[in-house]
Amino acid sequence: MILSEAFDEALAFAHGLHRRQGRKGSDTPYIAHLLAVCSIVLENGGSEAAAIAALLHDAVEDQGGLETLAAIRDRFGEEVAEIVAGCSDCLGHPKPPWRERKEAYLAHLATASPEVRLVSCADKVHNARSVVRDYKALGEALWPRFKGGGRDGSLWYYRAGTDEFLRGGPLPLANELDALVTEMERLAADG
């Protein structure tokens, strides 16, 4: 697949939105996560629309809510906007409590489109890779960065999401997520 100028524009747009944002607990620029998720999507057969949505999957939650979603729709079309909206656990402000948002998101995944499931699973795979890596370096000191769910909530959310992806795909990406979450759970049990 040859990516079009729309991809170039999405990359610049995503970087502009997240330019001042870093990954939780690190100095890593946030764009690194977006690029990783996009790479995972493309490596698993995702379309250009899914790749663009991967670059923008956190824009609504982190950078402006419905106004940002409208800008995405105007610039990149309905398909991309629907994938981004489907990957967002909250479209407005104020956000509901963490557990309530996560339970609603997991319920939504059961009927989400294959493109939403692919981008969401790719996001969880990259996040789980980061958690496992950081857990090996930091141990239990990792968990305070997860203010919403903390240790127990985060472990619950990763396992529940993994179980949903194992039920409905995308496979083998869901299998990779399962291996990562199993490793995360093992590290936590030993921690």
For position 160, what pLDDT does the model report?
A: 98
For position 95, what pLDDT does the model report?
A: 85
Averaged pLDDT for residues 155-181: 96
For position 175, what pLDDT does the model report?
A: 98
For position 90, what pLDDT does the model report?
A: 87
CATH 1.10.3210.10 fits 5-190, yes or no: yes
* Span 12-70, pLDDT tens digits: 999 999 999 888 878 899 999 999 999 999 999 999 999 999 999 999 988 888 999 99
- Cα separations in angstroms, 173 against 32, 43, 109, 121, 168: 20, 10, 15, 7, 11
DSSP string, 113-135: -HHHHHHHHHHHHHHHHHHHHHH
Distance between CA atoms of 178 and 131, rounded to whole angstroms? Answer: 13
Averaged pLDDT for residues 73-86: 98
Q: Which residues contact 152 (CB under 8 A, 6 or more apart)?
A: none
Averaged pLDDT for residues 87-104: 91
How distant is the alpha carbon of residue 93 from its chain centre? 19
Q: Is 134 a catalytic residue?
A: no
Of 58, 62, 123, 178, which one is the catalytic site residue? 62
Please, are residues 49 and 83 in contact by the beta-carbon 8 Å criterion?
yes
Averaged pLDDT for residues 90-119: 93
Q: Which residues pair with 12 in a beta bridge?
A: none
- Could you tell me the pTM of the whole model? 0.96
For position 178, what pLDDT does the model report?
A: 98
Closest CA to 125 of 170, 81, 177: 177
Q: Is 62 a catalytic residue?
A: yes
Of 61, 79, 183, 185, which one is the catalytic site residue? 61
Domain spans, the chain? 5-190
For position 91, what pLDDT does the model report?
A: 86
For position 13, what pLDDT does the model report?
A: 97
What's the mean pLDDT when you consider all of the chain?
95
